[in-house]
A and B are shown apart, each in its own frame.
Chain A
Amino acid sequence: GAGVSQSPSNKVTEKGKDVELRCDPISGHTALYWYRQSLGQGLEFLIYFQGNSAPDKSGLPSDRFSAERTGGSVSTLTIQRTQQEDSAVYLCASSSGQGQSPLHFGNGTRLTVT
């Protein structure tokens, strides 16, 4: 596709359930980032992939959060045993990781935990 695609666009889940959020980066982009944006707040870094490996996962807030990337393309962010404080917009971005190519962001997934 032409841009970064995230699905679902919106997700409502009950407290305690697991959720999976998907990110399809721009074709050929080796760098992929996940960010979390809580209501009215800035973007909080979660994890960075270069290819399939994650050299920086320092932003994952707890062991309930995990992410993987397969084939150097699609990435999935999984939140286990969701809590109400997990409610936020989860944004994905990708970059070619070389030269001066900026980050391209998707439209995000709005997660609501009830």
Chain B
Amino acid sequence: AQTVTQSQPEMSVQEAETVTLSCTYDTSESNYYLFWYKQPPSRQMILVIRQEAYKQQNATENRFSVNFQKAAKSFSLKISDSQLGDTAMYFCAFSKGTYIGTDKLIFGTGTRLQVFP
């Protein structure tokens, strides 16, 4: 069975600074995807960034980037130039398979990020 672990229940960062959220996972699958989702108070889950396991290059999306260490089964999220709007719960998630949407997402327990002015 696959598991996703987020060991930081809460994090805080000052505006314009950089913060890194940690995530580790366990799987015996060779094909899979990893995701970071953001959940603001509106409850809607918003996809921040995704990584295909077969790609060695770390994914980046504007201020968001990941450090994907496949051998260590680690998938951390780095937020650069933090903004007040980044305040939210962040969830790391895993999905096995070759295609997204053909199997369920398994989520970690989340990290609550607070960005201070």
User: What's the least CB distance linking A6 to chain B, in Å?
Assistant: 10
State A48–B101 Cα separation when bound (angstroms): 10
User: What's the least CB distance linking A70 to chain B, in Å?
Assistant: 20
Residues of A80-113 contacting chain B, CB below 8 A: 89, 91, 93, 95-103, 105-108, 110
CB within 8 Å of A: which residues of B? 35, 42-47, 50, 91, 99-110
CB <8 Å contact, A45 and B104: yes
- Measured between beta carbons, the chain B residues less than 8 angstroms from A59 are 104
In the complex, which residue of chain B has the Cβ closest to the Cβ of A96?
A: B101
In the complex, which residue of chain A has the Cβ closest to the Cβ of B91?
A: A42
CB within 8 Å of B: which residues of A? 31, 33, 35, 41-45, 48, 50, 56, 59, 89, 91, 93, 95-103, 105-108, 110
Within the complex, which residue of B43, B105, B108, B110 is in contact with A103, where a contact is CB–CB below 8 Å? B105
CB <8 Å contact, B100 and A99: yes
CB <8 Å contact, A93 and B50: no
Within the complex, which residue of B44, B99, B106 is in contact with A97, where a contact is CB–CB below 8 Å? B99
Additional 4 contacts, C-beta under 8 A, given A56-B104, A105-B45, A107-B43: A31-B102, A35-B107, A42-B110, A97-B101
Within the complex, which residue of A50, A93, A100, A108 is in contact with B43, where a contact is CB–CB below 8 Å? A108
- Measured between beta carbons, the chain A residues less than 8 angstroms from B44 are 105-108
User: What's the least CB distance linking A49 to chain B, in Å?
Assistant: 11
State A108–B46 Cα separation when bound (angstroms): 13
Pairs across A and B, CB under 8 Å, 7 listed: A41-B110, A42-B108, A43-B105, A95-B101, A100-B100, A103-B100, A108-B43
Across the A-B interface, the 8 shortest Cβ-Cβ residue pairs: A95-B101, A105-B45, A42-B109, A43-B107, A42-B107, A97-B101, A31-B101, A45-B104
In the complex, which residue of chain A has the Cβ closest to the Cβ of B42?
A: A107
State A45–B106 Cα separation when bound (angstroms): 7
